Chain A
């Protein structure tokens, strides 16, 4: 009886963290790693503020802001997808995931356009320290977006095939947590690289 109580408590505790506590080790570790990127950027920036401010002017704030909105909406869409599964509206959920996937592709397209514009003007990650951070941090973030997009595409397919429902959606919750992390990281990256003066 005690073991049953313990198992019930454990399963309740796991339900409180979307995707399970184990996956959150990964989420927290990633957050800390990116946090160290941000702190490193700020430390290096404090040594050459004028150079960083001048170089920052080459960035397209409009595109950066647009991409921020795109990712926020895609995160909202993932939330809607999971809500739909929880409410048993499993046929609606894939449409929300499709929207998230399309928005992710829009984000990637805008990012590639930004990079092409920089390269066209002869700016690369070797140009100066600011652009080193700009390219490396946004490319690492972009790699996370690509991985997340692939995961969303696979999960959307499995959702359509009926693999998930309200009692079996742990993998969906893990993917959603990962996607929200990717969104949150951009919400920090954008002001840090594009706006901080």
Chain B
């Protein structure tokens, strides 16, 4: 006996909703507890200034990074669910479906690594300030400069979605174009290697606000359409499931 269809669809629905849960928990742990909102700690801050900021907000930061490292895992079933939808469109191959899956998994790694560094910085806040600064730098530059991994994920979904000619496509074409746009807003973040102030630094408009907002908006929009699609399939009579699977 294998898992019945109804249970499978419930797992899919939960996985689609995990995108919403990811976005909400990420905004709370990274944005609020992590003190990246209203603005991240400046890359131009001296080691001493940064160490003082870590001491000042120590409990928030520790809790924030601890929780964020746990809840980032929600991105995994969500990415798997995206591939579930993609495989229904990419019928004769799976290359983009699997590329999306790999990219989603690696995104979890990239983001986790950054938050781990920040968490480690809070572990011994009385260490040499330069070490705290180095950990802070590694954390930020890990997230900022490894953007292509997530952009590939977003473009893979978009490309497959654009070729979806079914009467009811899972992802409307505008969602696909939005995915491509959002994915490429990350590109200026590579310039964080060059700047410690201004719009291209990791606390600037194009290094921080635009890319992170774009990523979360994309996650929410995609989740909405995946939830809608799973619910539609849940409401389908059994005989139509068989026709659709043929």
Binding site for B on A (CB under 8 A): 20-23, 25-26, 29-30, 33, 36-37, 40, 44, 125-126, 129, 132, 136, 140, 143
Structural contact, A136 and B200, CB atoms closer than 8 A: yes
The distance in angstroms between the C-alpha atoms of A33 and B205, with both chains bound, is: 11
- Report which residue of A20, A26, A37, A125 has the largest number of chain B beta carbons within 10 angstroms of its beta carbon: A26
Q: Are A132 and B177 CB-contacts (below 8 A) given A36-B205, A40-B205, A140-B188?
A: no
Structural contact, A25 and B174, CB atoms closer than 8 A: yes
Closest B residue to A132 using CB positions: B198
- Interface: B106 (CB within 8 A): no
Closest A residue to B176 using CB positions: A22
Q: Find residues 177-220 in chain B having any chain A CB closer than 8 Å to their own CB.
A: 177-178, 180-181, 185, 187-188, 191, 194-195, 198-200, 205-206, 210
Add 4 more A-B contacts to A29-B181, A143-B187 (CB < 8 A).
Answer: A22-B174, A36-B205, A36-B210, A125-B194
- Interface: B173 (CB within 8 A): yes
Structural contact, B181 and A26, CB atoms closer than 8 A: yes
A residues near B199, Cβ cutoff 8 Å: 40, 44
Structural contact, A33 and B185, CB atoms closer than 8 A: yes
Give the contact-size bracket for chain B: 20 to 34
Structural contact, A25 and B194, CB atoms closer than 8 A: no
Structural contact, B172 and A129, CB atoms closer than 8 A: no
The distance in angstroms between the C-alpha atoms of A4 and B173, with both chains bound, is: 22
A residues near B205, Cβ cutoff 8 Å: 36, 40
B residues near A30, Cβ cutoff 8 Å: 181
Q: A22 is contacted by which of B173, B187, B188, B195 (Cβ under 8 Å)? A: B173
Q: Are A33 and B172 CB-contacts (below 8 A) given A132-B200, A140-B188?
A: no
- What secondary structure prevails in chain A residues at the interface with B? helix
Structural contact, A26 and B180, CB atoms closer than 8 A: yes
Structural contact, A33 and B210, CB atoms closer than 8 A: yes
B residues near A23, Cβ cutoff 8 Å: 173, 177
- What secondary structure prevails in chain B residues at the interface with A? helix
B residues near A129, Cβ cutoff 8 Å: 198
B residues near A40, Cβ cutoff 8 Å: 199, 205-206
The distance in angstroms between the C-alpha atoms of A178 and B185, with both chains bound, is: 16
The smallest beta-carbon distance between B214 and chain A, in angstroms, is 9
The distance in angstroms between the C-alpha atoms of A36 and B205, with both chains bound, is: 9
The smallest beta-carbon distance between B145 and chain A, in angstroms, is 15
The distance in angstroms between the C-alpha atoms of A40 and B199, with both chains bound, is: 8
Q: Which 8 A-B pairs have the closest CB atoms?
A: A22-B173, A26-B177, A22-B174, A25-B174, A29-B181, A25-B177, A40-B199, A26-B181
Closest B residue to A28 using CB positions: B181
The distance in angstroms between the C-alpha atoms of A129 and B204, with both chains bound, is: 14
20 A-B pairs with C-beta separation under 8 A: A21-B174, A23-B177, A25-B174, A25-B177, A25-B178, A26-B178, A29-B178, A29-B181, A33-B185, A36-B205, A36-B206, A37-B206, A40-B199, A40-B205, A40-B206, A126-B194, A132-B195, A136-B188, A140-B187, A143-B187
The smallest beta-carbon distance between A40 and chain B, in angstroms, is 5
The distance in angstroms between the C-alpha atoms of A143 and B187, with both chains bound, is: 11
Structural contact, A44 and B173, CB atoms closer than 8 A: no
The distance in angstroms between the C-alpha atoms of A44 and B181, with both chains bound, is: 25
A residues near B180, Cβ cutoff 8 Å: 26
Q: Find residues 158-184 in chain B having any chain A CB closer than 8 Å to their own CB.
A: 172-174, 176-178, 180-181
- Report which residue of B172, B177, B195 has the largest number of chain A beta carbons within 10 angstroms of its beta carbon: B177
A residues near B188, Cβ cutoff 8 Å: 136, 140
A residues near B198, Cβ cutoff 8 Å: 44, 129, 132
The distance in angstroms between the C-alpha atoms of A33 and B195, with both chains bound, is: 20
The distance in angstroms between the C-alpha atoms of A37 and B209, with both chains bound, is: 13
The smallest beta-carbon distance between B173 and chain A, in angstroms, is 3
Closest A residue to B205 using CB positions: A40
The distance in angstroms between the C-alpha atoms of A129 and B174, with both chains bound, is: 36
